[in-house]
Amino acid sequence: MPSQPPSHAAARHVVFAVAPELVLLDACGPVEAFWRAELAMRAASGTSGAEPCAYRTTLASVAGGVLPTFAGMPIVTERLDTLDPATIDTLIVPGIPIYDTADTTTALQPELVAWIAAAAPYARRVASVCTGAFYLAAAGLLDGRRAATHWRNAAQLARRFPRVEVDPEPIFIRDERDGRVVWTSAGVTAGIDLALALIEEDCGHAVAMQAARRLVVFMKRPGGQSQFSEALAAQASAGAEFDALHGWMAANLHGELSVERLAEEARMSPRTFARRYVDAVGRTPARTVAAMRVEAAAHALVQSRRPLKRIAADCGFGTEQNLRRAFERSYGVLPLDYRARFAAS
């Protein structure tokens, strides 16, 4: 292991270490995000040449060449053993379908596990998308760390790798300890969220926001995997000014979210806060709170069997009756009808 992170060229080398049956969007979503950031950085610097100025990406596999993907679309990869680990800035491991039943347990590629374990110490940071966390765990990189993965595979990851502190809720987790930074993300499209967070860390909020806008996605999903478009829409509209506030709101939907309380959290007077918020977001704080609460309740109905009384309390509606009214206004159906239609069987 090198004693300190190696120096890198101005363009950060992002390597995607992929396995057969790759979940295609786990890789191509982040690749596209890095490319959009590269375009933004070129435009800002006036660079028009072929040489990258922010990121260069490489997809590599154990055997190299054409790799089959889970979606059926083959991709062309380089051989991992042709890469110099010292040139890698960011190592990302996308996911594959993971099965864990009485009859089948998905076997991980031992050569890929070994390469990840050997190369990771050279990288400035290591990350996984979705079930790529299984590869990081098998390589020993998640021992004693918090980690995210696709919500459907969280229990499997915890059973298979008991030394990993699996958290099924966050969109992504950044765990820094012992001088090492490891990122893990939730499933599939969460890889784009992860890439945007990495871009923001490297290049700043403005570049990450430009990449998000070009991808027609929101910049950041605050809170956990349960936070959906209303929270994101508010955040994207407001830019960086109310990022932290929206994350705090999404995590505290059960509590008091009056203008006065929000203003206190934003460290503004209520009058100033209300005016600046409407100017930035285009709607009142109360409307944002109401929309976040309805979407959080919708997610809870689909992803859990919690009774309405509990969901109403957790999401800040107070009573079941208030929850029903809000749901009918937003979706035109009662909460239990929504659950019956959209919940997994």
Position of tokens 């923001």?
200
| Distance set, CA 35 to CA 7, 172, 314, 316 (Å) | 22, 20, 40, 40
Check the CA dihedral 237-240-241-245 and report its sign. positive
CA dihedral in degrees (15, 16, 20, 21; nearest 10)?
Answer: -170
- Selecting among 28, 130, 203, 315, the annotated active-site residue is 130
Distance (Å, whole) CA 81 – CA 179:
26
Beta-carbon contacts of 162 under 8 Å, excluding residues fewer than 6 positions away, are none
DSSP string for 51-75:
S-SSEEEEEEESS-EEE-BTTS--E
- Is 28 considered catalytic here? no
Distance (Å, whole) CA 220 – CA 223:
9
| Distance set, CA 297 to CA 11, 82, 122, 222, 253 (Å) | 43, 49, 44, 16, 10
Distance (Å, whole) CA 175 – CA 142:
9
SS in 3 state form for 220-287? CCCCECCCCHHHHHHHHHHCCCCHHHHHHHHHCCCCCCCHHHHHHHHCCCHHHHHHHHHHHHCCCHHH
Element (H, E) at 14: strand 12-17
Helix (H, G, I), strand (E, B) or coil at 47: coil
Q: Where are the alpha helices (DSSP H) in the chain?
A: 24-45, 110-119, 132-138, 154-160, 190-203, 205-215, 229-238, 243-251, 259-266, 270-281, 285-303, 308-314, 320-331, 335-342
Task: Name the residues annotated as catalytic.
Answer: 130
